[in-house]
Amino acid sequence: MDLSERLGRHLAESRLLDGAQRVVVACSGGGDSTALLILLREWARERGVSIVALHVHHGLRGPRGEEDAGFCARLASDLGLPFGLRPVDVPSNRRPGESLEAAARRLRYEAFLAFARETGEKTLVATGHTLDDQAETVLLNLHRHAGRTRGGIRARREDGVVRPLLPFSRAELRAFLAARGAAWREDETNENERLFRNRIRRRELPALEAAAPGTARRLARAGEAWTRRLEVIDVRIDEALAAGDTPLSGPWPRALVVALGAEAAARLLVRASGARGAVPGRAQLSRAVERLLKGEAQLAESLAGLRLVADTRAVRLAGRASLP
């Protein structure tokens, strides 16, 4: 079964694109996004779904960035697809304390979603994240001690972003492109090992793969499995909040908190506050739950406007979740 057929089967089973009338494909010119654009064009042709290629130009790479934009425009033209170009000014819109890479990523997604809203309802945004990206993210989160909190890359985000290529490796995608005689552009910033993800990509994951072939795929499966668990937690939290049964008052069985770690409490804070970003006091909360995991029986600590109270049987979050 070739890659086109495998993607079709994956989309049928996952239902990632069900109901979409239009899919905006994030096109950087790299191998992953180029493969995604070609594959989705073929998938959509018999299904009446419109495919649009969109390139976000950060203006951070000088002439190279202009060349990337031109490549993406030509690729879309060769495929007979409409093309959009959105420039973003990263330095001027960078938030205090935000890295240049994080600002570029945030603005890129904002541009994708704004473009999708302009094209009408039932429009999704598809990005070219792969199995390798999933494995790298799991390792990155483990290094940041966030593995149990964040899981991996979600196949579908609440805002309409989908990742159809998560089951497939970069090697598979490049073999697909080579067989088609399709060109793509390599991003030289991926060689910059000052960025932690690039060090994982170029050194750590290849070393693990060499020592135990199949490591990347196993890591990706682990990330996907934990992400599914977190999604279930989110649904239950949303249901409880919608029913007026605010879970902040607890108590939670201590065994549940031990099993879940800090993410359940942190996600309750996020959901109850209506926030979708970082939660003040989250690091404190993580440390407090870590103490629970180490077997401390009694605990009372002020966290983000409420108190975490624990004994041998239960854990209670008492008070209101108020974020400044």
Q: Is the pLDDT of residue 129 over 60?
A: yes
pTM, rounded to two decimals: 0.76
User: Mean pLDDT across the stretch 293-300?
Assistant: 60
Determine which of 39-43, 80-84, 102-106, 237-241 has the lowest per-residue pLDDT on average: 237-241
DSSP single-letter state for residue 156? B
DSSP single-letter state for residue 243? T
Residue that has been written with the tokens 């552009």 in this structure: 185
Looking at residue 159, its pLDDT comes to: 87
The CATH class given to the 3-130+152-193 domain equals alpha beta
pLDDT in tens, 198-244: 888 888 888 989 999 999 999 999 888 888 887 777 777 667 666 65
- Cβ-in-10-Å burial (0-12, 13-18, 19+) of 228 comes to middle
- What are the start and end residues of each CATH 3.40.50.620 domain in the chain? 3-130+152-193
Contact 161, 152 (CB under 8 A): no
Strand order in the sheet with 299-303: 252-253, 314-318, 306-310, 299-303
**What is the helix (H) or strand (E) element at residue 76, kind and residue range?**
helix 63-78
Total number of residues shown for the chain: 324
Looking at residue 49, its pLDDT comes to: 93
Mean pLDDT for all residues in the chain: 80
Q: Does residue 94 or residue 289 have the better pLDDT?
A: 94
Determine which of 110-124, 151-165, 176-190, 240-254 has the lowest per-residue pLDDT on average: 240-254
Confidence of residue 139 (pLDDT cuts 50, 70, 90): confident
Q: Is the pLDDT of residue 279 over 50?
A: no
Confidence of residue 134 (pLDDT cuts 50, 70, 90): very high
- Cβ-in-10-Å burial (0-12, 13-18, 19+) of 289 comes to buried
Reading the block at residue 174, the tokens are 């490049």
Q: At what angle do helices 31-45 and 63-78 cross, to 10 degrees?
A: 20
Of residues 222, 192, 187, the one with CA closest to residue 208:
222
pLDDT in tens, 143-175: 765 545 556 888 998 889 999 999 999 999 999
Looking at residue 294, its pLDDT comes to: 64
